[in-house]
Amino acid sequence: MRLFDKVKTKKTIQNRLLLTGVISLIQLLIFFYCFVKFIELSVFVSMILYLLSMVFIVYLIGGKEPSAYKITWIIVLHLLPLMGILIYLLWGRKAPAKKLTASVAKSSEKIIQCLNADEHMNCHFLVQGKRAYSTARYLKEVTHYPAFCHSDVKYYSIGEDYFEDMLKVLNTAEKFIFMEYYIIEEGLMWDQILAILVEKAKQGVQVRVMYDDMGCMTTLHWQYREYLEKVHENIKCIAFNRVKLVVALVMNNRDHRKILVVDGKVGFTGGINLADEYINKKVKYGHWKDTGIRITGNAVWGLTCLFIEMWNVSAEEILDPNDYKTNIEHNTGIGFVQPFGDSPLDDVTVGQNVYVDIINQANESIYIMTPYLILDDYTRSAIILAARRGIDVNILTPGIPDKKAVFRITRANYVPLLEVGVKIYEYTKGFLHAKSIVVDKKIAMIGTINLDYRSMYLNFECGVFMYGVSAIKDLEVDAINTIKLSNKIEQSDLKMGIVGKVRNAILMIFAPLM
């Protein structure tokens, strides 16, 4: 089922991209023209501009962003005093518009009231894993999302299996379906899902779909939301944080989450978006290796609240979380499961902190899968320390990249890790899009968080922290099996001439912006 024909959608997308590019270019040219004119006025004006630039640099240094992010913008501000300030204010700020900040704060306040965590945080599994309990407590403290016992987790090592189960669960919906995805694209995958959504809407099921406007800028018609809502009155849709072309093009604060909840009983999350390459029905960069999980039991409530929290930020229709809480019989699942969200609107880098904390807990082994490896000093130091403690550290990245510049930066990040004994593997069959870490066969996190600046600092993300869950062993087994299909990188593989070194050095300067 398609709402627009393929040719019309492609033409509309091309027109929107062209318009976005032209308006962005015009803004840059205006800034540059103003900069040149100011410089031409007098030496005095030039001095004022440089003084203003220095004041702004001091402001940046006092901020809480990572050092590499600050250095990048300091270089820009030094080279282009006035223009650099304007570019930063429009495109570089982590802080969003006040309206978005206020909306998120209001929505979060309602969710916090519904997340009475005490009953979940006292289960005996948390006591057994005292070190893991401290991570769960940290997450509860900063995100208000608790750890849940009596929850089962199924791990999917490939998108095709994930999609097959997703369709089965969608067909069981009786009350509501919540979907929140960074990318949706019309094709085999989305067409099958949409057909079920429409049928369920006709049966009285509430269907709520949310996608990121920037993420779908090249995949969906710009009016897709409006047309989807016309299909049936029980279907509501949001294009999160609409791209605005007047005055500023909002690049940051994107909704990178991937969440599906059905009736509050079953939830899915992971790295898999709703487009054909994720189930290998369209080949873009060789074989697409992605992973995800299905949650049943008490922990689904965490995913439900994450969705409602984001939905209420933008929707005219405000959802009451209490209307979607489902009484679930205690599952026999062992361990605990803790869904959580990370927001760019505060100064707490939750996803990064959990990554580092999990790394620091390792006694034997670490397996990390990530499509991008663009590390700041904090995360890099944790990985290096683990390797020097004698931990078997394994990192898997793509063999066929989706972005060549980012791939070069990823490879540049290999060097200090290889020097201390970290093992790095590139998935030779294609593009690895999985985002997970597993430690000592008993602690893991999986979700939407990449090991790069954009995920750590600039996007809305989600993850699931797990301890003692049987699926954790499946994560490690999958990582080991993927290593068998990968090429181990040696320091000799990264040798390059002077031109390559200079190119990489320049790319590393701008890595925080990618």
Q: Which residues are catalytic?
A: 256, 258, 263, 433, 435, 440
User: Do 206 and 335 meet the contact criterion of CB atoms below 8 Å apart?
Assistant: no
Alpha carbon distance 504, 153 (integer Å): 41
- Full DSSP string of 386-441: HHHTT-EEEEEEESS-S-HHHHHHHHHTHHHHHTTT-EEEEETTEEE---EEEETT
3-state secondary structure (DSSP) of residue 38? helix
Q: Which among 420, 366, 438, 367 has a CA at the least distance from the CA of 397?
A: 367
- The answer to whether the CB of 185 falls within 8 A of the CB of 270 is no
Q: Which two tokens stand for residue 373?
A: 């490896």
CA distance 177 to 205: 7
CA atoms in the 13 A half-sphere facing the CB of 126 = 22
d(CA 28, CA 32) in angstroms, rounded, equals 6
AA letter at 119:
E
CB 256 within 8 A of CB 455: yes
CA distance 326 to 176: 11
Spatial separation of the C-alpha atoms in residues 266 and 37, rounded to whole Å: 60
Closest by alpha carbon to 369, among 95, 139, 56, 158? 158
Give the residue carrying structure tokens 């294009």: 239
Task: Quote the strand ranges of 331-418, DSSP E.
Answer: 336-342, 365-369, 392-398
Q: Hey, how many other C-beta atoms are within 10 angstroms of the C-beta on 430?
A: 21
DSSP state of 323: G
Give me the count of residues in the chain: 514
